[in-house]
Amino acid sequence: MTQSPWISAGEAARALGVTRPTLYAYVSRGFIRSEATATPGATRERRYSREDVDRVRRRAEERRDPGKVAAHALQWGVPILESSITLIAAERLYYRGLDAVELARTRSVADVASLIWGGRFDLPLSVPRAAHAAERASPAGALPFIARAQSMLAVASARDALASDLRPEGVALTGWRILALLASAATPGRGPISPASTIDARLAHAWRLKRADADVLRAALILCADHELNVSAFTARCVASAGSNPYAVVLAGLAALEGIKHGGLTARVEALLESLRGERRLKAALVERLRRGESIDGFGHPLYRNGDPRATALLELLRERYPKSPERKFAVNLADAAGALTRERPTVDFALAAVSRVLQLPPRSGLTLFAIGRTIGWIGHAIEQYAAAQIIRPRAKYVGDAPRQLSGAPERSPTP
């Protein structure tokens, strides 16, 4: 069952192991959010943010046992890098303080890239013709998207004379050239993208969609743009911290994203939808999957107890644009059946798979949209990391054998 984001004073105090006065002190100092309850006749009662209580509790544990924290520092929780790009708070997603869902409905891909890269909507972004040399020379047309994109990026990196300009303005321009190249990689054989064409319009045209369908692609790209320090963003920052150029940053990000525990999960969700499309009793079919030890992919996100807002926004957009679509209705029915069984809600992976089916996109297009959109975030993280001018170098906690002399090694002669 989905937990409420709010808990009572008693629950909060017990979770923290403190008295109520200490809890109230945390609230007064701004560490824990609270709000009045809606219970009639209990006007003085307040409830407290479960997320904030958990964070304060973890920090207390860190002070008591630093070694334990080090062992789990890279697993969902302890922030290890500062960033001003993305905030995940109160079940919402924000890019530089602006609601990502609202941006997806009102702004262009270029606007959001400009916002993430420079903190404003009007960065001068353009794609010179020279940026398409890699596309014309690439023999990678028959490869899957990620491999094709990585091949083209490697060629472009070697040929782009401006790739080593790591100033914020230079990285933003390189980032825009990279986005154009990825759009070309997603639509092989369609020719280079026009400097005047938007990324979503190029994809819509290449996939033979209606003009209105481009809005759905645009929303998907924007909602995938960044999601804090996920594994691909962290990988991208590590590569940037070494001083590698933005092409190398995106190459590394794509390698991480393709994994089945990250963006590659979209392909598993697409396979799930395809395998269940003819089922009339969806809940029974899902139960049978669980009995066979198979997973129900695309549901439940650790950062959103009440549902992934990106998925909610995309599924709502599909409802508005395609209310009679059989594929949309099937996706909704499947989400309802899975929710009734697991009490979990769709993630962005499920929503991308639904978009792909409703718009009848090529296979694995969910991952394509994810990768192109997330590239915006990788470039943003690279800009931040270049500015920090510090290499990311965590230490390892050694848990292997103690040092010992190599068996059979000759003894050292005594020093005269």
132 is catalytic: no
- Confidence band, pLDDT 50/70/90 cuts, at residue 73: low
d(CA 180, CA 130): 12
Pairing of strands 46-49, 86-89: unpaired
Mean pLDDT calculated for residue range 213-226: 97
Residue 86 DSSP symbol: E
Residue 293 DSSP symbol: T
Most confident of 107-121, 199-213, 296-310: 107-121
User: Which pLDDT does position 412 carry in this prediction?
Assistant: 62
Domains (range + CATH), the chain: 6-71 (1.10.1660.10), 79-392 (1.10.580.10)
Mean pLDDT calculated for residue range 12-28: 90
User: Which pLDDT does position 102 carry in this prediction?
Assistant: 98
DSSP string for residues in 117-137: HHSSS-------GGGGHHHHH
Most confident of 24-33, 181-190, 225-234: 225-234
- Residues facing residue 346 across a β-bridge: 299
- Average pLDDT over the chain, rounded to an integer: 88
Q: What angle do CA 50, 53, 57 make, to 5 degrees?
A: 140
Query: Which is the catalytic residue, given 52, 213, 226, 349?
Result: 349
User: Which pLDDT does position 352 carry in this prediction?
Assistant: 98
Q: Which residues contact 148 (CB under 8 A, 6 or more apart)?
A: 138, 140, 141, 185, 188
pLDDT at 344 exceeding the cut of 90: yes
Lowest-confidence range among 10-19, 151-160, 256-265, 318-327? 10-19
pLDDT at 162 exceeding the cut of 60: yes
In order of 62, 199, 210, 354, the CA distances from 215 in angstroms are: 45, 11, 10, 15
Decide which of 338 and 411 is more confident.
Answer: 338
User: Which pLDDT does position 251 carry in this prediction?
Assistant: 98
In order of 64, 134, 252, 257, 324, the CA distances from 265 in angstroms are: 37, 29, 18, 9, 27
pLDDT at 393 exceeding the cut of 80: yes
Decide which of 58 and 170 is more confident.
Answer: 170
Q: Name the E strands within 2-120.
A: 6-8, 34-36, 46-49, 86-89, 92-95, 98-99
d(CA 253, CA 391): 17
pLDDT in tens, 165-208: 999 999 999 999 999 999 999 988 665 555 557 899 989 999 99
Give the three-state DSSP class for 144.
Answer: coil
pLDDT in tens, 311-322: 999 999 999 999
User: Which pLDDT does position 81 carry in this prediction?
Assistant: 82
User: Which pLDDT does position 382 carry in this prediction?
Assistant: 98
pLDDT at 273 exceeding the cut of 80: yes
d(CA 82, CA 375): 19
Burial of 210 (0-12, 13-18, 19+ CB in 10 A): exposed
349 is catalytic: yes
What DSSP element (H or E) covers 141? none
DSSP string for residues in 214-263: HHHHHHHHHHTS--SS-HHHHHHHHHHHTT--HHHHHHHHHHHHTSTTTT
User: Which pLDDT does position 72 carry in this prediction?
Assistant: 57
Mean pLDDT calculated for residue range 146-151: 96
Mean pLDDT calculated for residue range 59-86: 68
Q: Are 412 and 258 in contact (CB under 8 A)?
A: no
- Confidence band, pLDDT 50/70/90 cuts, at residue 1: very low
User: Which pLDDT does position 28 carry in this prediction?
Assistant: 84
d(CA 213, CA 148): 25
User: Which pLDDT does position 60 carry in this prediction?
Assistant: 79
d(CA 149, CA 141): 10
Lowest-confidence range among 35-49, 234-248, 264-278, 382-396? 35-49
Residue 364 DSSP symbol: T
pLDDT at 76 exceeding the cut of 60: no
Q: In what order do the strands lie in the sheet with 98-99?
A: 86-89, 92-95, 98-99
Q: Are 382 and 241 in contact (CB under 8 A)?
A: no
User: Which pLDDT does position 358 carry in this prediction?
Assistant: 98
Among 312, 144, 346, 111, residue whose Cα is nearest residue 225 = 111
User: Which pLDDT does position 300 carry in this prediction?
Assistant: 94
User: Which pLDDT does position 101 carry in this prediction?
Assistant: 98
- Confidence band, pLDDT 50/70/90 cuts, at residue 131: very low
User: Which pLDDT does position 179 carry in this prediction?
Assistant: 96
Residue 304 falls in which region: left (phi positive, over 0), alpha (psi -120 to 50) or beta = beta
Query: Which is the catalytic residue, given 52, 301, 308, 381?
Result: 301
